[in-house]
Amino acid sequence: MKKIELIERISNGEDSYTQFKEQIIHSKELAKEFVAFSNAEGGIIIFGVSDDGDIKGLNITDVEKIGQLVGNVGQENVKPPIHPLIQNITIDEKKLMVVFIKSGLSKPYKTSSGVFYTKSSSDKKIISDEELKRLFAESKRLYADEEAVNKTDITDLNQQRFNLFLEKFDKNLYDGVKNNNLNLITLLQNFDIMKGNNLTLAGNLIFGMNPQKFNKSFYIDCCYFDGNDISVTKYISERRAYGDFESLYEKGTDFIKSNLKNRQVGENFNSNGVPEISYEVIGELVTNALIHRDYYINSPIRIYIFHNRVEIISPGKLYNSLTVEKIKCGTTIRRNQTLDRICNNVLSYTGRGSGIRRVLNINPDIEFVNDTELEQFKCIIHRKERDRLVDRLGDRLENLTKNRQEILKAIDNDSLTTIAKLAEMLGISTTAIENNIKYLKENGLLKRVGSDNSGSWEITDEI
């Protein structure tokens, strides 16, 4: 680390990646810091700096003792052991020691007394049971989709649906079960659909009679907001999609398709239309959300449609060492291997591991956001607002003056906008806005809902 970078880091204060220690501390306290950083995204500890960022410095004896302490704690007080790096830097003739702790590859880490910590802002906290499971999963020691679902048994299995899968997957296995030459329970266990006498999470979600009875949070929350922000109070459409994997896929993709418009590609409005978002893209991204989400997080998948975009939000950040750039290049690390393996023969549409690259080939403008703070992965598909109004109003929009078109576009983005805001946006007087709005009302293109002060605008297509 360069001196100027360290000075800037100190001036910014403590955070999730930076801790200050004025002097040597007890080995048990240092072990807690090491464990917390190793279980999170890594960070540095700067010795010789007070909590408020005042550079105090260390003497030669302190430097030697801390160096020895760091090595001993990393080896003896952290399980599994870690190997921090040390750098000594002098600022204004004051010696500082910087200890670098990487995000661990063998998570979860614990202190020698058996306590698991992680970072929480500039502090540390004891890891919850749910977080601990996810860390085990990231270390490839535990898979959520292979865990048994309590209180389930063979009667909760939709055997007809399983038979359809089996016949498609392997006709010989299907015939063996049908003719009672193969034990059904053993076969289900071999497929990781059952564990002991219970359905696994994968078994319940794919073949369960009523999956949400046992896994209540695993559904899709769908909403079409009348605007471009989640804070709007009016919804165009909303639903919650329940059922097994195939039902969730069909209901999720159908919600998007049914709320989007076809876009004209010819010169006149009688030409054939194409979907404003490719159905192939929709299918790939909904599939990706269902199969690769983090099932240790008890939260639904969310499909949010706005006037200018569609967002598909999966619980959980990208798995293990994956990054947005890696998945764009086709790198895959499967979080839920049983779901991925079985769903290739269950879902009506799947890219079989190459979905992200496929959707980018179709639409390179799709955005992917790996939100590590909110623990979610978001796919953003941008919509063309101009095309949406043309689809709705046809040549009636094209025949309007530019100002009237811009007023409708602004209201389409924000139904609560005011005449004053419209005047400022278009650079014309409020009187001109009022005259244009009067024309739009009289021609059945716009109406006011509610009072002048607290109401909203609504674009109509009345003739």
CATH, domain range 142-383: 3.30.565.60
Determine how many CB atoms are found less than 10 A away from the CB of residue 335. 25
Q: Is 350 helix (H, G, I), strand (E, B) or coil?
A: coil
Same fold flag, 3-127 and 394-459 = no
Q: Specify whether the CB–CB gap between 206 and 212 falls below 8 A.
A: no
CATH number 1.10.10.10 is the correct assignment for the domain at 394-459: yes
381: nearest Cα among 393, 394, 369? 369
Do 146 and 206 contact (CB within 8 A), yes or no? no
Type of residue found at 420: A
Residue 55 backbone phi and psi in degrees, to 5 = -80, 110
* 3-127 classified as CATH 3.30.950.30: yes
Count of alpha carbons within 13 angstroms of residue 84, beta-carbon side: 32
What pTM value is reported for the model?
A: 0.61
Query: What CA–CA distances, in Å, run from 251 to 121, 141, 286, 303, 369?
Result: 38, 33, 10, 11, 24
| CA distances to 6, 29, 90, 121, 142 from 59, in Å | 19, 21, 11, 30, 46
- Give residue limits of the domains in the chain: 3-127, 142-383, 394-459
Give yes or no for a contact between 315 and 299, defined as CB atoms under 8 angstroms apart: yes
Q: Angle, nearest 10°, between helix axes 171-178 and 159-169?
A: 140
| Strand (E) or helix (H) holding 95 | strand 94-101
Q: Identify the H or E element spanning 98.
A: strand 94-101
Per-residue pLDDT of the chain (463 residues; tens, 9 = 90+): 889 999 999 999 999 999 999 999 999 999 999 999 998 889 999 999 999 999 999 999 999 999 999 999 999 999 989 999 999 999 999 999 999 999 987 788 999 988 999 988 888 999 887 777 777 766 655 688 999 999 999 999 999 999 999 998 899 998 998 898 889 999 999 999 999 999 999 999 999 999 999 999 999 999 999 888 888 888 889 999 999 999 999 999 999 999 887 665 554 445 556 788 999 999 999 999 999 999 988 899 999 999 899 999 999 999 877 899 998 888 887 889 899 889 888 886 555 556 788 899 999 999 999 998 888 999 999 987 655 676 677 777 878 999 999 999 888 888 889 999 999 999 999 999 999 999 999 998 999 998 888 889 988 876 5
